[in-house]
Chains A and B, each alone.
Chain A
Amino acid sequence: AQKVTQAQTEISVVEKEDVTLDCVYETRDTTYYLFWYKQPPSGELVFLIRRNSFDEQNEISGRYSWNFQKSTSSFNFTITASQVVDSAVYFCALSEAGNSGYSTLTFGKGTMLLVSP
């Protein structure tokens, strides 16, 4: 069975600090997909990134970057120069591309990030 662990329940930083959110996953499949979602106080989850298991290249999008390492089964998310608007709950998720076609997402429990001015 697949599993996603986000060990950090809550992180508090001061604006302009860099912060890394950890995500460790477990799967038996060689083909799988990893996701990060952001849930701001409004409640609606917002898709941030998708990575497939064959692409270990790190990704950077503005102040956001993602580090995917299959050797440690981790898909960590770093926010550089954090801002108050980054305050949200962040979820890591895993999906396996099963033969049946009925693969679904397994979410971690989320990390609440609080950025204070």
Chain B
Amino acid sequence: DVKVTQSSRYLVKRTGEKVFLECVQDMDHENMFWYRQDPGLGLRLIYFSYDVKMKEKGDIPEGYSVSREKKERFSLILESASTNQTSMYLCASSLGLAGAYEQFFGPGTRLTVL
């Protein structure tokens, strides 16, 4: 079974802090994704990566950056956390990008920025 793990289930940070959210997958998938989930808005794509060191902006990249130094690990970085970044963050991975492959999701990190 595909396993996607995220470093924390719950995280509380203060405004202005630099925040790292880590995601690891164990199925050698090429592609990894970061979403945020907010009530009434569904899932929105922040960034995705189709290969090591490669990244593409999603629909809402502002205020975020990502890093993919190894194939199995995809990090989401909040350079200076703000209260409007309080949200559930979901990481996913898939074998391919062209829509024909399902994405496998991690359990999510609920981030609160005070």
A-B pairs, top 3 by smallest CB distance, nearest first, are A95-B99, A109-B42, A45-B105
Cβ–Cβ contact A43 & B100, under 8 A: no
Interface status of B79 (Cβ within 8 A of chain A): no
Q: How many residues of B contact A (CB 8 A)?
A: 25
A103: which B residues are within 8 A, CB to CB? Answer: 97-99
Cβ–Cβ contact A47 & B103, under 8 A: yes
Q: Could you say which of B41, B43, B48 has the most chain A C-beta atoms within 10 Å of its C-beta?
A: B43
Interface band, chain A: 20 to 34
What is the bound-complex CA distance between A77 and B42, given in angstroms? 18
Contacts A105-B45, A108-B42 hold; do A42 and B107 have CB atoms under 8 A apart? yes
B102: which A residues are within 8 A, CB to CB? Answer: 35, 47, 50
Interface status of A58 (Cβ within 8 A of chain B): no
Interface status of B111 (Cβ within 8 A of chain A): no
Query: Restricting to A97-117, which residues have a CB under 8 Å from any CB of B?
Result: 97-98, 101-105, 107-110
Interface status of B56 (Cβ within 8 A of chain A): yes
Which chain B residue has the least Cβ–Cβ distance from A99? B98
Interface status of A67 (Cβ within 8 A of chain B): no
B105: which A residues are within 8 A, CB to CB? Answer: 37, 44-46
Query: Restricting to A6-51, which residues have a CB under 8 Å from any CB of B?
Result: 9, 32-33, 35, 37, 42-47, 50
Interface status of B64 (Cβ within 8 A of chain A): no
What is the bound-complex CA distance between A104 and B44, given in angstroms? 11
What is the bound-complex CA distance between A95 and B58, given in angstroms? 14
Question: 14 A-B Cβ contacts within 8 A?
Answer: A33-B99, A43-B107, A43-B108, A44-B106, A44-B107, A45-B90, A45-B92, A46-B105, A47-B103, A52-B100, A103-B98, A104-B48, A104-B58, A105-B103
What is the bound-complex CA distance between A98 and B102, given in angstroms? 16
